[in-house]
């Protein structure tokens, strides 16, 4: 699958974070869709196919882990990466979500650009 065929969903309550992630992905020639709402993310997942989703842990309308579970039910194949300034990788909730397959990875805020590039490069549908 070429980069131009990959679709990524970005869900974060901070518009600046959505913008930053979208522009990082644009540098890789990857199409992304952004939203600041968990409910809108669910609607987007119902009407689109995304290979990867970056989901913030704290959203105004639902918790990120709840959203991850909903997205997983809609598309068991989507890779979900939790992005958080609230949780840490060793938090029990994150460890449990990783173990149960609710999320596929975790990135803490603030993150390095290289961390995002590595996640995308290591994703099964990518060949950079």
Range list of β-strands (E), the chain: 7-11, 31-35, 52-56, 79-84, 105-108
**119: CB partners within 8 A, 6+ apart:** 52, 81, 105, 107
Q: How far apart are CA 91 and CA 85, in angstroms?
A: 12
Q: Which two tokens stand for residue 89?
A: 């990788």
Query: pLDDT tens digits, the chain, 128 residues: what are they?
Result: 555 578 999 999 999 999 999 999 998 889 899 999 999 999 999 999 999 999 999 999 999 999 999 999 999 999 999 998 777 678 888 999 999 999 999 998 888 888 999 898 887 544 33
Q: What is the pTM of this model?
A: 0.90
């Amino acid at each position: 699958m070429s980069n131009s065929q990959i679709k990524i969903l970005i869900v974060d309550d901070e518009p600046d974070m959505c913008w930053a992630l979208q522009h990082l992905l644009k540098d890789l020639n990857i199409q992304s869709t952004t939203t600041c709402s968990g409910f809108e993310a669910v609607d987007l997942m119902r009407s689109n196919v995304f290979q990867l989703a970056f989901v913030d842990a704290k959203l105004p309308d639902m918790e990120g882990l709840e959203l991850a579970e909903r997205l997983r039910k809609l598309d068991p194949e989507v890779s979900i990466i939790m992005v958080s300034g609230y949780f840490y990788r060793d938090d029990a909730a994150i460890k449990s979500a990783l173990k149960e397959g609710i999320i596929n990875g975790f990135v803490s805020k603030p993150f390095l650009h290289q961390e995002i590039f590595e996640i995308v490069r290591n994703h099964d549908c990518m060949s950079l």
